[in-house]
Amino acid sequence: MSGLKDDRYFDADVETMSREQIEQLQEARILQLVPYAYQRSPLVRAVWEEAGVTPADIRSLADFKAKAPFIDKDTIRQFRDRHGDPFGGLACATAPHLRGVGFTSGTTGDPTPLPRAEEHITLTALKRELWHIGVRSGDYFSYALFTFREGLNSDKWLDSGFRPVTLQHLPSEVPHLIEISRRLRPKALFMISTPLIMAIDQYQKNTGTDLREAFSSYRGAVFGGEPMSPALRSLVQSWGLEIFELTSLGDISTAMECRAHDGMHAWEDLALVEHLDPDGDQEAADGTRGELVVTALADDVAPLIRFRTDDLVSLTRETCSCGRTHCRMKLLGRKSDELIVHGRSVMPLDLFPLLQQFPETQAGLFQIVKAQREAEQLRLRVGYDASALATSEAELSERIVGGLAAALDIPVRVELLRSEELTKSGHKIPRVIKP
């Protein structure tokens, strides 16, 4: 094997680095990043000056973890509104290097700006993940985009030889997805969501399409943006698709499962990943609940530095059975999603298995209605499949309320909606909403 590329990896040297090598690389990049961002990012300078920290105080990775102040989405939004800066003080570069601006989804607040370079690091991560799924040079992959964004054209894939076939991430695009799947035989589907899965299922029921045949070339399908209900997982697997779950790495990049399906890999050459006490700044032990805190290590346009993501994760830095050495995490929910009812913590992930027991709600379409962190009852909007309704809405509501109240030992109030009301956006479903 000497001198030959290990075909399991897109970039074996990076993906199998030792922990010592990863930390040495992170330290070198941090020591370059800090003075650069301090000089160019109005937000970073303001936050660090308020904390009484300067780049001269950071001489090592340990110094950075001990002294660098945190930011979060509220910090960015407040700077944006106070200074009238559409980039929230993040931008360190201007045109032509700044090639576009994206935005967060806004499911936990108003969208925040994400200035982008021509070759954003998300593409670097995605190339590694698609290779792992089974895409090789010359292969097509289906690219179902939530929006058509700057930097996602085919030229960006030249070094990999991957050939993206783009379509909009909308239920109306399902016939197009089936057609390109049959004509071009792509190797991966990036990506699917709850609404798109339900649209594919409805298309199959309406047309009798053999989805196993249509999707037979795919080595995997990527699902992301929210937790996946057990019922939807079984449905997608019945089409012959292996599911790879993906999540955002704090708006810096992405993290995705490998074939071991034992956590989502976060690329630590692209981002410094910290796993901290959700209510403090101490490191949480591997395997325990902690908040994901990230720093961009390969973004010179708008690097996020010690960004508290609000995501609660279980994290491990043990080498994966796939051979990759970068950390893996399992998403547990968001800090801001937690609802306390009579002293009992309720998170969206707690509700999927409970709604699975009712045939009408197996898709797991629901929203927690939350006015504040503590409440006297759990209020839910629940989507149901009208074709599976055997009795009446009132009777279904009673069954759901009774089942959830007994399981959680808290008062429950349910508002029923037809499933299409919750999936009409064609994108992910906000799992926690305000009244």
Say how far residue 269 (Cα) sits from the centre of its chain.
18
For position 36, what pLDDT does the model report?
96
Q: What is the pTM of this model?
A: 0.88
For position 149, what pLDDT does the model report?
46
318 pLDDT exceeds 80? yes
For residue 191, whether the previous peptide bond is cis, meaning omega lies within 30 degrees of 0, is yes
Whole-number Å distance between alpha carbons of 245 and 258: 9
What pLDDT band is residue 250 in, cutting at 50, 70 and 90? confident
For position 66, what pLDDT does the model report?
97
Q: Tokens 């670097």 identify what position?
A: 124
148 pLDDT exceeds 80? no
For position 156, what pLDDT does the model report?
74
Least confident of 47-56, 100-109, 196-205, 387-396: 100-109
What pLDDT band is residue 427 in, cutting at 50, 70 and 90? low
305 pLDDT exceeds 80? yes
55 pLDDT exceeds 80? yes
Residues whose CB is less than 8 angstroms from the CB of residue 238 and which lie 6 or more positions away in sequence, other chains included: none
What pLDDT band is residue 116 in, cutting at 50, 70 and 90? low
* φ and ψ at residue 196, rounded to 5 degrees: -70, -40
Helices 174-184 and 194-207, interaxial angle, to 10°?
80
105 pLDDT exceeds 70? no
For position 113, what pLDDT does the model report?
63
Whole-number Å distance between alpha carbons of 119 and 99: 9
Model confidence pLDDT, tens digit, residues 170-192: 889 999 999 999 999 999 999 99
For position 363, what pLDDT does the model report?
87
Q: What domains can you pick out in the chain, each with its CATH number? A: 1-332 (3.40.50.12780), 338-433 (3.30.300.30)
For position 300, what pLDDT does the model report?
87
For position 159, what pLDDT does the model report?
77
Least confident of 4-8, 114-118, 237-241, 412-416: 114-118
60 pLDDT exceeds 70? yes
What pLDDT band is residue 155 in, cutting at 50, 70 and 90? low
What pLDDT band is residue 151 in, cutting at 50, 70 and 90? very low
For position 170, what pLDDT does the model report?
87
What pLDDT band is residue 101 in, cutting at 50, 70 and 90? low
For 143, 317, 388, 389, the CA distances from 18, given in Å and listed in that order, are 33, 11, 52, 55
For position 31, what pLDDT does the model report?
98
16 pLDDT exceeds 50? yes
For position 425, what pLDDT does the model report?
64
Residue 101, strand partner residues: 115
Alpha carbons within 13 angstroms on the beta-carbon side of residue 285 total 2
**Between residues 301 and 70, the one the model is more confident about:** 70
Least confident of 84-88, 117-121, 396-400: 117-121
For position 295, what pLDDT does the model report?
97
The average confidence (pLDDT) of the chain is 90
DSSP state of 429: P
**Rounded-to-10 torsion of CA 251, 373, 360, 205:** -20
What pLDDT band is residue 4 in, cutting at 50, 70 and 90? low
Residue 215, strand partner residues: none
Least confident of 65-79, 100-114, 273-287, 378-392: 100-114
What pLDDT band is residue 146 in, cutting at 50, 70 and 90? low
Model confidence pLDDT, tens digit, residues 320-375: 999 999 999 999 999 999 999 999 999 998 999 899 899 999 888 999 999 999 99
